[in-house]
Amino acid sequence: MLYNKLATKTAQALNEQVELEAASSQYYLAMASWAEVQGYNGIAQFLYRHSDEERVHMLKLIHFINDRGGHGIVPALKQPDLEFRNIHDIFEHVLTHEILVSTEINKLIDLCLQEKDYTTHTFLQWYVTEQIEEEKMARQILDKLKLIGEDKGGLYIFDRDMGTMRTEDRH
């Protein structure tokens, strides 16, 4: 196995990130389902795509771990929240969650530097850039929602526009 004793810490930490990315996918899937049931079809489409994107992030990690001689572990996940107060609440959760993911990526970067695992450090730079985009997107959505307030017409247009908003990797 290519991972030595020091790199085993990195493999374990990467598998923890796999779990976080998988949980993120489930979390956004639960949000999408809630939005769809509430009649926010555009927002639901956006969140379904975002859920898929998080799954891709998870798979990218699993492949990297396996390619380096480790074993990418498929995690068991707990049930995500199923109910949300409103659309504003959902996107507050999205921003909070993306900040959490960024924090965990930064911890991984720190570990790589401590362990002198420069290959994994380089690999993780993609995630650093991705998280900047994820947080920016969530903040911009929240800014739009603050402008709209509770205006039903504004929410209708926002919902429609969210259905066509791209979530794919933007770089």
In tens, the pLDDT along 82-100 reads 889 999 999 999 999 999 9
Please tell me the predicted confidence (pLDDT) of residue 5. Answer: 43
Please tell me the predicted confidence (pLDDT) of residue 165. Answer: 83
Binding site members: 21, 54, 57, 98, 131
Nearest to 167 by CA among 9, 54, 39: 54
Q: What is the distance between the alpha carbons of residues 87 and 155, in angstroms, rounded to a whole number?
A: 9
Q: Which parts of the chain register pLDDT below 50?
A: 1-6, 169-171
Binding site members for Fe cation: 21, 54, 57, 98, 131
Please tell me the predicted confidence (pLDDT) of residue 166. Answer: 73
Asked if 33 contacts 84 with a C-beta cutoff of 8 angstroms, the reply is no
CATH label, 5-162, candidates 1.20.1260.10, 1.20.1250.20, 2.60.40.10, 3.40.50.1820: 1.20.1260.10
